[in-house]
Amino acid sequence: MARFKKFSKSLIEHFLDGGGLKQEGKKKEREGDDLEAITAMRRRVFRYEAVVEATGKFSPKQKLGEGGFGPVFKGRLEDGREVAVKRLSVASRQGTKEFMNEAMLLSEVQHKNLVNLYGYCTHGDDKLLVYEYVRNESLDKILFSREENNWKMAQLDWCRRFNVIVGVARGLLYLHEEAHTTIIHRDIKASNILLDEEWSPKIADFGLARLFPAELSQVKTRVVGTNGYMAPEYFMHGTLSAKADVFSFGVVILELISGRKNAAFAPFPDCEARSLLEWAWRLYRKGQSLDLLDPALKSTAVAEQVEMCIHLGLLCVQSDPKLRPDMSRVVIILSKRPRTLEEPSKPGIPGPRYRRHQGAAHASSPAPSAARSSSSAPDSASASSATTWTPMTPTN
């Protein structure tokens, strides 16, 4: 019994770090609360003071970036662990209990290709998620960087990019089919793929949509997805399935190969394509797939592998979700490299019924019919970095 008490105390100390908890006086105060603390530890609850201290009081200097859900700060816990703390800007509308339940559920989702959620913290309206800090940060910062002499970009050779494709596929397979609860990510994109010190990918922000109540239809920021990555059936009709993630994954494959961002695709001379997907499709049809290749990959690319990945990418972004492979098939294709694959059909690109809503690039209006989705998370869409599309009138 005494050994158990000692063991549980050391575990509690490990989790409830910082903030003077080690002080003698507080130790005594805590003794009676062992049970409560063990429960907190199991639930991976962080003390607010410890998180505030770790991030230098959410110092702007420690800000890693800001997405649709709020800012992210780098920090170091008292036990030395480096963390990335996401401060949810809209979650305050959700009940603390619901938030904690969902966060606890997510912190039990573990895979080597998913960012580890160490735990979470609530304090008044503040709701924080504490993740492991992933050293090479997000793929978008490397892949779409315009900086000259970007050393990280030089490190991202074909072999590493191929490993990113394989790792993300495995992480998604886990979320869709192997985790204790099926999780559709909804926002697979280059900025949600983090690279560790060995350039191994880790999917970030999985299940974030679960942290928001279903009835939340108008939020300041986008919670359903990012243009350029959203499957047409989800984007236009709010139909959500694992195949929506497969679509986004296909976009990421084509971005990794071309080094170009689908949502910011700028047509160039002699190219009629209006998006990366269309460009890839046209080249594929002409038997010139390899022209898609990022010039930075010329010396390291393995042509056969690149062609197979372009083919796979095009299968994933097909307009009809039923035709897209599921993630278990994707993983098999990537590991077994079959000689023959079915022909892809046309990619899903917002069609002529939709036009870009002039001047709405940063507006906050819902996506056409996403709000009709029957999924468990909210379906509102506005754009932090995204473009809003609105249906054209019949005369258009």
Ligand X SMILES: Nc1ncnc2c1ncn2[C@@H]1O[C@H](COP(=O)(O)OP(=O)(O)OP(=O)(O)O)[C@@H](O)[C@H]1O
Residues that bind ligand X (CB under 6 A): 64-69, 72, 84, 115, 131, 133-134, 137-138, 141, 187, 191-192, 194, 204-205, 226
String of b and e for 125-145 (b: at least 16 CB within 10 Å)?
Answer: ebbbbbbbbbebbbbbbbbee
331 vs 338: CA distance, rounded Å: 12
Q: What is the DSSP string of 233-271?
A: HHHHH----HHHHHHHHHHHHHHHHH---GGG----TT-
Q: CB-wise, 144 or 332, nearer to ligand X? A: 144
The distance of closest approach from Cβ of residue 152 to ligand X in the complex, given in angstroms and rounded to an integer, is 12
- Cβ closer to Mg ion: 211 or 331? 211
The residues near 353 (Cβ < 8 Å, ≥ 6 apart) are 236, 391, 392
Residue with CB nearest ligand X? 67
Span interacting with Mg ion, options 40-48, 192-200, 333-341, 382-390, rule CB under 5 A? 192-200
Q: Which of 129, 44, 43, 133 is nearest to 87 (CA)?
A: 129
Asked if 332 and 363 count as a contact pair (C-beta separation under 8 A), the reply is: no
Instruction: Looking at residues 122 to 161 of the shown chain, list those that interact with Mg ion (rule: CB under 5 A).
Output: none
Shortest distance (Å) from residue 392 CB to ligand X:
27
Identify which of residues 209 and 240 has a Cβ nearer to Mg ion in the complex. Answer: 209
Q: From the list 62, 122, 192, 388, which residue makes contact with Mg ion (rule: CB under 5 A)? A: 192
As a whole number of angstroms, the distance between CA 256 and CA 143 comes to 7
- Name which of Mg ion, ligand X, none residue 223 binds, using a CB cut-off of 5 to 8 Å depending on partner kind: none
Q: Residue length, the chain?
A: 396
Shortest CB 390 distance to ligand X, Å: 21
Q: Which of 18, 67, 238, 347 lies at the binding interface for Mg ion (CB under 5 A)? A: 67
Q: Closest approach of Cβ 84 to Mg ion, in Å?
A: 10
Q: Of residues 197-226, which lie at the interface with Mg ion (CB under 5 A)?
A: 205
Nearer to ligand X, 66 or 157 (CB): 66
Q: Is 350 within 8 Å of 263 (Cβ atoms)?
A: no
Which residues ranging from 328 to 357 are in contact with Mg ion (CB under 5 A)?
none
Cβ-based nearer residue to ligand X, 174 or 206: 206
68, interface contact from Mg ion, ligand X, none, CB < 5-8 Å by kind: ligand X
Place of tokens 């002529």: 352
Q: How many residues bind Mg ion (CB under 5 A)?
A: 3
The answer to whether the Cα torsion of 91, 139, 199, 207 is positive or negative is positive
Binding site partner of 167, from ligand X, Mg ion, none, Cβ cut-off 5-8 A by kind: none
The residue type found at 279 is W
Which residue, 201 or 344, has its beta carbon nearer to Mg ion? 201
- Which one from 187, 196, 294, 379 is the annotated catalytic residue? 187
Among Mg ion, ligand X, none, what does residue 78 contact (CB within 5–8 Å per kind)? none
Active site residue 34: no
For residue 394, the minimal CB distance to ligand X (Å) is: 33
* 374, 395 Cβ separation under 8 angstroms: no
Q: How far is the CB of 138 from Mg ion (least distance, A)?
A: 7
Residue 133's binding partner, choosing from ligand X, Mg ion, none, with beta-carbon cut-off 5 to 8 A by kind? Answer: ligand X
**Relative orientation angle of helices 242-258 and 327-336, to the nearest 10 degrees:** 40
Q: What counts of helices (H) and strands (E) characterise the chain?
A: 13, 9
Task: Specify the residue, 196 or 205, whose C-beta has the smaller distance to Mg ion.
Answer: 205
CB of 97 to ligand X, least distance (A): 24
Cβ contact 312:330 at 8 Å: yes
Strand ranges in the chain using DSSP code E only, listed in sequence order: 63-67, 70-76, 82-88, 117-123, 126-132, 193-195, 201-203, 354-356, 389-391
What is the Cα–Cα distance from 212 to 134, expressed in whole angstroms?
25
Give catalytic residues, as residue numbers: 187
**Contact set with Mg ion (CB under 5 A):** 67, 192, 205
